[in-house]
Amino acid sequence: MVRGITASNRRDDIIAAAVEVFAELGYYRATTAQVAEKADISQPYVYRFFTKESLLVAALELSWERIMKAFHKVITDTAVPEQLEISLIRAYEEVMESHRHEVLLQMQALTIQEPVVREAMQSGMVRVQTLVKDAFQQAGISDVDERTTDFMARGMLCNVSMALQMPQLMKKQ
C-alpha cells in the first residue's frame, strides 16, 4: 500500500530528516535547508511546521518516545522479574543499533543550553528513569534507586561506547 502524502506524513518525514542531518552535522552547523533537501521538500515547507529549534525538540521527543515504547514492550512482555533488567538492556541496544542517529542526537543535545532543548532532554530522561524505577519496584528488585541509577548510567556508557566506536568500554573486566 502506498502511503498518501499528507501534512502529517510530511511532518514525520521532516523530523526523520532532521534527526539524520542534526546527528551527522551537529545542530549548530546544520541548516533547515539541509533538512529540507534530505526530506526532498522545500525549505519554506519546513518552516510551515517548524523553526530550527522546534524541529530539534520534535526530533528529541521522537527519540525519547522510541525508547519508552521499547521499554514498555519489554515490561509488558517480561514474565520473569529476574529477566527484566537484561531485557531492558537488550531493548536499548536494539534501539541504539536501529536508530543510531537518534542516540547521537540526544548526546549532542546534552550540550545545548537553550531552555526548550534542555527541558526536552530533562523530560525524556525523567520519563525513562521513572518507567524503569517503577518496573523494577513492581518486579520486586531490591535496591531500586541504586539499580535504576546504575541502569541509567550504563545507558549513558553505551551511548559513549557507540559514539566513539569503542565496544571495549562495555566489556566487563
Band of pLDDT at residue 1, cut at 50, 70 and 90: very low
Q: What is the mean pLDDT of residues 138-155?
A: 95
Domain hosting 101: range is 52-170
Structural domain contains residue 64: yes
> Is residue 145 assigned to a domain?
yes
Task: Judge whether residue 160 has pLDDT over 70.
Answer: yes
Number of domains within the chain: 1
Residue 32 within a domain: no
| 66 falls within a domain | yes
153 within a domain of the structure (yes/no)? yes
Residue type at 67 in one-letter notation: I
Q: Is residue 141 part of a domain?
A: yes
Percent of the chain at pLDDT exceeding 90: 84
Give the pLDDT band of residue 168 (cuts 50, 70, 90).
Answer: confident
pLDDT per position as a tens digit, 106-128? 999 999 999 999 999 999 999 99
Note the pLDDT tens digit of each residue in 33-74: 999 999 999 999 999 999 999 999 999 999 999 999 999 999
Q: Averaged over 123-134, what is the pLDDT?
A: 98
Read off the CATH number of the domain in which 66 is found: 1.10.357
Rounded Cα distance, 35 and 46, in Å: 8
**pTM, entire model:** 0.90
* C-alpha–C-alpha distance, residues 65 and 52, integer Å: 20
Within a domain: residue 10? Answer: no
CA 68/CA 148 separation, integer angstroms: 15
CA dist 88 and 2 (Å) reads 34
Residue 15 lies in a domain: no
pLDDT: is 172 or 28 the higher one? 28
